[in-house]
Homo-oligomer: A and B are copies of this chain.
Amino acid sequence: VSRRDEIVDVAERLLEAEGPETLSMRRLAEEMGIRAPSLYKHIRSKDEIEAALQQRGLESLGEALADAGTGLVNLGSAYRRWALLHPRLYDLMTRRPLAREQIAEGVDAAASAPVLAAAAGDINLARALWGLAHGLVDLELAGRFPPGADIDAAWRTAFEAFPTGRPS
């Protein structure tokens, strides 16, 4: 493990355990037993750490979706399950532009491949499905549904009702 990877590891642990406010360069350094300025010998900026976390998250989500089995309902469930398991990482992943130069070629494509397959290759339908899943998860994580809302039922309605894809 390079020192850089070690930093990203600690950042991920810190993020999920204590939230984004806690993910400061000083705190991160403390967790590693060094001082904040020393971090900059291994990474260029805090942004680079966040981009690395974004990449990891995409990879992990992509694997979860690839293992989801067939059918839109299963795919939606897998998406939601992953997000609720890694809520702060999910936030960080989606709340920033895709750092396309910093993210290894194909990570993005690999993550979305299962969705595109479920949409039978229809890119517009795939984007609609991605938007639907992301929107429902984002509203849930942001606490926008009233307490006691039956979010399961909303997912079922959404993904059962959605047509399976045919190329346009």
Contact = CB atoms under 8 A, between A and B. Distances in A.
A144 B149 CA distance: 29
A128 B133 CA distance: 9
A interface bracket (residues with beta carbon within 8 Å of B): 35 or more
B158 A168 contact: no
A149 to B, nearest CB: 7
A66 interface: no
A139 to B, nearest CB: 6
B145 A127 contact: yes
A97 interface: yes
Given A127-B157, A131-B154, 7 more contacts: A94-B144, A124-B156, A127-B145, A128-B136, A128-B154, A135-B136, A161-B162
Interface of A: 94-98, 122-125, 127-128, 130-136, 138-139, 142-145, 149-151, 153-158, 161-163, 168
